[in-house]
Amino acid sequence: MTQKSIRLFVTSLVVLGMLSACAPTTSNPTTSVPTDQPTPIPAIPTVEVSSPTTQPVHLKVGIFNYISYAPFFIAYEEGYFSEQGLDVELLDFGSQSTEFIPALLSKQLDIGAFSISSAVFNAMLQGVNVRYVADKGYMNPESCVTDAWVGSNLSLANGSLTDLASIEGKKVVSVTGGSFEYALDVMLEQAGLTQDDIEISNISDSAARVQALGSGSIDISLLSEPWITRAQTQNAGTVWKPMAELIPNFTTSALLYGPSIMEGDHEVGVRFMVAYLKAIQQFNEGKTDRNVEIIAKYTKLTPEEIKLACWTSFQPDARIDSLGLMGFEQWVVAKGYVDAPLTLDQILNTEFVESANLILNP
């Protein structure tokens, strides 16, 4: 591994921390992680498994308490994991997002879900046996807006921010190495511009981004729900360019199987996927009282905030947009975030999701 790639890998891990700030933070400070270890989620009552004579398989699964992780919460609360003979321990990484990928690679975690990121690609390039295996949210052009470039109401009102070309010279909040920067470059290319034509600002905290939009100290910021809704209700900003228009159907976040699953019992990975797919089916029923109740328990958002926010779109069969994935791969190589191209097989494994779909839909 070259010095350049080492620096990029470390930088990417740090950037992953900034990416997580785009998602909702908890309103209860007691839910943050005060120690060096992720916080275990309290156990729920035992649900009888289909084969009581078989010892449940213990799995450590890394999460963040955001709406986009709802299928994990639903599978846990509704006993879908237990039905598959799995003793799942959900570990909330809180603000320790830079520890997430190293924990997965070192087998401290078995499974997790994270953004499509150059940090993960670098690990794959170095031969670490970790793969994206299923969708955990995609840019749905037919849905409400979950992720967007939000324009300051002041910049929109004074006419300095209008069409794409007007982004030239503007102060823009972005992050490096992931799908948000990828979408930014797509947007700039459509305007015939590059990042050299704008002023990049690094504000990691979503609440601070909303405040900066309101004050007019920045012109445009990437935001995810519920921060888009909060920016609009606080009259700070308005959706200017939805991510789904820039990279439609792109899988922005995906389920990751670490070495302990990839090199272990294949059936365990399939059983987890079956539970995950069942949870997605329930999530896709929409803002039912039960779904809102479960999401509120983990995110600490109020039911009113949850109902008002736009929810992440999940593919019903959890299949990843492989074409978009390879487009992102070409972009990270061109940017120099990884040293060499990767093949699709190095990035994606579809066996688990295909097997689980056959079980649920024979």
The predicted pLDDT at position 100 comes to: 80
Q: Examine the fold and report which residue of 231, 246, 261 is the final residue of a domain before the chain moves on.
A: 246
Question: Domain check: are 217 and 241 in the same one?
Answer: yes
The answer to whether the predicted template modeling score (pTM) of the entire model surpasses 0.75 is yes
Ranges of the chain whose pLDDT falls below 50: 1-37, 39, 41-53
Look-up of token digits 């949210």 = 137
Task: Give a three-class secondary structure readout of 81-126.
Answer: HHHCCEEEEEEECCCCHHHHHHHHHCCCCCEEEEECEHHHHHHHHC
In the chain, alpha helices (H): 3-20, 70-77, 80-83, 100-105, 118-125, 153-157, 179-190, 206-215, 227-233, 243-246, 259-262, 266-283, 289-299, 303-308, 322-335, 344-347, 351-360
pLDDT at residue 246, rounded to an integer? 94
- Which amino acid is located at 345 in the chain? D
State the pLDDT at residue 53. 43
Same domain, 134 and 281: yes
CB 130 within 8 A of CB 259: yes
110 and 36: one domain?
Answer: yes
Of 179, 214, 246, the last residue of a domain is 246
- Calculate the CA 32 to chain-centre distance: 18
Question: In this structure, are 78 and 133 located in the same domain?
Answer: yes
Single-letter residue type at 280 = I
| β-bridge pairing 171-173 and 220-224 | parallel
Same domain, 96 and 161: no
Domain match, 337 and 270 both: yes
Residues 131, 10 share a domain: yes
Could you give the CA distance from residue 361 to residue 358 in angstroms, rounded to a whole number? 5
Q: Are residues 302 and 203 in the same domain?
A: no
Q: What is the pLDDT of residue 202?
A: 87
Question: Tokens 């939000």 label which residue?
Answer: 150
In which domain, by residue range, is 197 found?
147-246
Same domain, 118 and 27: yes
The verdict on 209 and 304 lying in the same domain is no
Q: Are 325 and 116 in contact (CB under 8 A)?
A: yes
Query: What is the reported pLDDT for 99?
Result: 80
Domain endpoint, select from 217, 246, 275: 246
User: What pLDDT is attached to residue 97?
Assistant: 64
When divided into structural domains, the chain yields a total of: 2
Looking at residue 106, its pLDDT comes to: 86
CATH of the domain at 67: 3.40.190.10
Res 34: pLDDT: 35
* Residues 240, 274 within the same domain: no
pLDDT at 13 (0 to 100): 42
**CA gap 69, 66 in Å, rounded:** 6
What per-residue confidence (pLDDT) applies to 48?
A: 38
Check if the beta carbon of residue 232 is closer than 8 Å to that of residue 238: yes
Pair (175, 263) in one structural domain = no
